[in-house]
Structure 1
């Protein structure tokens, strides 16, 4: 009888063990669909020169002003200095857990976190921080920094950062270098990647009580640059951190090559264009083809010091046109909006105002 009972217990224990979910291995990258294209032993992104020389300086020019260096707060949202976190000029000061590879539709690779363990159903994800990750003051990046980031964003941050805790059921430290996010029913399949792209801030360098106040004091981040000079509303200068912790990791190899990056501010587009003509700005962008052709005739261009280049981006066109405020009663009827669209003489406007250089899109979502 005892022998049978022992066998029954052993069989039951084996069945219980066999029903446990298989433990997955942390991966070097995650993707929105399928698997990341690059293997675990990749050395750099395909579109980057890993041996690009370091040095020199570059000046970018923008229209506007700034009175704040903290990009995560609601106050001065539209007047925060460019470059702190920036889709155009780069995340110079603050970094996310993982880095996007723009050669793929939506794949992320290790940055502050060198690997991630994502549940197949995307109900949770565990990030394993790179033990070498450091803030610009030399202190290590820790799980406590990740926990603090989400805590302070929830209470003091601006959208969309302030909304992300509403989709997280639990956020916990799971090891000396790891944190785990468990999601609730509000989260979708993309949300683990959104979490991976959320910038992380240092707990020791911020005071939660005053976090939502604007500041022009240079902030500590983990990124490749530090703030060197600030002239409010006019200029911000970043210098490359020679001790940047991530300069040799694959997702950052070949990036961050200038020793100095300056962003100059101008009150309007005309002033910015004139500054470009004088050699202050490294590049100029202009979406109006007539204005571009008119402004391109200046001495530096005729001497060959300025180059004009056309290229096909391969992405859907950006819509330029009129948008109706459908909250107003006069625009609420779709038949009225359709009639106004039919009244607009695109062919005449294109010929007489834009030198025939535009093509009409078929919809806002072409």
Structure 2
């Protein structure tokens, strides 16, 4: 393959005292994978991922539930409600090993060259790579995918790949990407996560319009049937071009993947117990403790697993919308936090199953604790005038009274300081007479019983609250336009957070429809701390930057943190096989298979019931 010469801009930059001249691609070795720090754990001649069984049987089906409805098979755009599982039909340039913190190995790209100074990256496409219609995957498809997703796709893509300066084809099978001098260490790896779309398929089609077509991809599955709002099914591609790649051998064994849609989780649970669903990832502690006592489990046809989760817990919380004036005073936000009684919920509703979430990076070394370290202070000190004094002077976790009564008393003090008082039993702003009222927007009735205790506690101090339950399509539309007071939202985290943090927290995405900046944060300090995190050039620097960001977010009281679990709860009809131990960092259901004999036994039981 031929290689492009360094760009003129980089050369001029070096001559004028800018960044050092990038290495010539011809002088950079081609490798089989990349790791965020150091080298990938698997050698160039690995034959399969350690948790995959290359001799696993192929066949069977996996039927799971989805909640709500869908009206689109395009998961990349703002419009419409996409069906579950659509990423199954698309390959990416590289793919992750779930047994490593963050390492990527060749998929569509069989080789990678990365400039030692991370100013560019090149991908050599596998010449055997094909879309499902037999057309080859080319460099032009990669360029089309990048430009289409960042210009017409969800805001996430523009945020994720913001530091790409240029992308071009070196030849039909080679893509060269120039990177900004942003010191984003993870950018070369997350470029490997880019889903590749067929340019020839989309020619003459409106990418931004919703569709129910069986879209074309190059992945291990294709769309088999679409029943809008009810069911979507995927079938294994028998002649899948990449089935014998090391990253795929022993994976994608199940012949048919099906998602049936249900109105809510209660109905879906009953469908599982009736044998209409094969697997259920259980999110309710009450259900896990009480709802699985039924004959099939007692007879050994159903199993329950608790798979350890090696990723940070992230943040699940009641999210306050700062675009609403009533939430813009930090004292009001702290007062609302004080009304949340986790211990009561955990004791009375959750069977003691959960841990209270305090950090945006809970269950990891990135969670801030105690007083800021010297390294954290080096990042925070330039912003001392813009940050609350508590960031520098008070330890984490934030100390609040344990008992509810003194917590509510403290909340009243904060609201009074914010200009509120109780009039005729209603918390009212004393200047404008507006009552402090909030609405919690939900789409799942399962959460109603969890929200009610918070609203009851707020009512004790005169704060009015309601629950509004809407269907999933209306819910998504309201999220896109940030039309809510408060929602139950989440900010998931990986062991190596990076560019996606811009979409979560930064000013650029505060008012972009369908961005993940649900809070509406627009704070220059937070913007800069996010860039510090992205630029971290070592594990130590990444942990420090994450702790500094975590500390500032927590003292802002932007959300009411909820709870987390250190494992994934899975209930399944016992027809599946897998290799143990499970991968350390992510659950990989693609490495599971259906045991034919056990599948027949369960089907016979179902017929004879």
TM-score, structure 1 as length reference: 0.86
Instruction: Report the Cα offset of residue 321 of structure 1.
Output: 4.4
Query: 2: CA distance between counterparts of 1:84 and 1:334?
Result: 40
Alignment of 1:206-217 (within 5 A): 206-207=202-203, 210-217=206-213
Contact 1:108 1:193 in 2 (8 A): yes
Partner SS state of residue 40, structure 2? coil
Distance 1:146 1:311, change over 3 A: closer
Instruction: Report the Cα offset of residue 163 of structure 1.
Output: 4.9
Q: Does 1:30 align with 2:34?
A: yes
Contact 1:113 1:129 in 2 (8 A): yes
Instruction: Report the Cα offset of residue 349 of structure 1.
Output: 3.0
Q: Which residue, out of 76, 79, 86, partners 1:84?
A: 86
| 2:289 corresponds to | 293
Query: 1: CA distance between counterparts of 2:22 and 2:85?
Result: 47
Partner SS state of residue 279, structure 2? coil
Contact 1:156 1:162 in 2 (8 A): no
Instruction: Report the Cα offset of residue 344 of structure 1.
Output: 3.7
| 2:351 corresponds to | 355
TM-superposition CA deviations, 1:311-366 (whole Å, max 9, x none): 43244445554344445454444444445444444333322232333333443432
Q: Does 1:122 align with 2:118?
A: yes
| 2:470 corresponds to | none
Q: Does 1:42 align with 2:46?
A: yes
* Structure 2: gaps (5+ residues): 1-20, 363-609
Query: 2: CA distance between counterparts of 1:350 and 1:250?
Result: 44
Q: Which residue, out of 55, 59, 71, partners 1:55?
A: 59
Query: 2: CA distance between counterparts of 1:67 and 1:94?
Result: 19
Instruction: Report the Cα offset of residue 210 of structure 1.
Output: 1.2
TM-superposition CA deviations, 1:209-263 (whole Å, max 9, x none): 5111111111111101111111111111111111100000101111100111111
Give the count of matched residue pairs: 340
Q: Superposition RMSD on alpha carbons, in Å?
A: 2.3
Distance 1:143 1:187, change over 3 A: farther
Q: Does 1:271 align with 2:267?
A: yes
* Structure 1: gaps (5+ residues): 1-18, 86-91
> Quick check: 266-275 or 325-334, which moved more?
325-334
Query: 2: CA distance between counterparts of 1:65 and 1:344?
Result: 31
Greater helix fraction, Structure 1 or Structure 2: 2
Query: 1: CA distance between counterparts of 2:201 and 2:224?
Result: 17
Instruction: Report the Cα offset of residue 33 of structure 1.
Output: 1.1
TM-superposition CA deviations, 1:106-138 (whole Å, max 9, x none): 110000000110111111000000011111111
Partner SS state of residue 104, structure 1? coil
Distance 1:226 1:321, change over 3 A: closer
Distance 1:237 1:347, change over 3 A: closer
| 1:226 corresponds to | 222
Partner SS state of residue 310, structure 1? strand
Distance 1:151 1:314, change over 3 A: closer
Partner SS state of residue 347, structure 2? helix
| 1:182 corresponds to | 178
Distance 1:317 1:20, change over 3 A: closer
Distance 1:28 1:297, change over 3 A: same
| 2:147 corresponds to | 151
Distance 1:281 1:227, change over 3 A: same
Instruction: Report the Cα offset of residue 21 of structure 1.
Output: 4.5
Q: Which residue, out of 74, 80, 83, partners 2:78?
A: 74
| 2:163 corresponds to | 167
Query: 1: CA distance between counterparts of 2:161 and 2:345?
Result: 48
TM-score, structure 2 as length reference: 0.53
Contact 1:152 1:208 in 2 (8 A): no
Instruction: Report the Cα offset of residue 162 of structure 1.
Output: 4.3
Q: Does 1:310 align with 2:306?
A: yes
| 1:98 corresponds to | 94
Alignment of 1:341-352 (within 5 A): 341-352=337-348
Query: 2: CA distance between counterparts of 1:289 and 1:340?
Result: 25
Query: 2: CA distance between counterparts of 1:36 and 1:70?
Result: 33
Query: 1: CA distance between counterparts of 2:323 and 2:172?
Result: 52
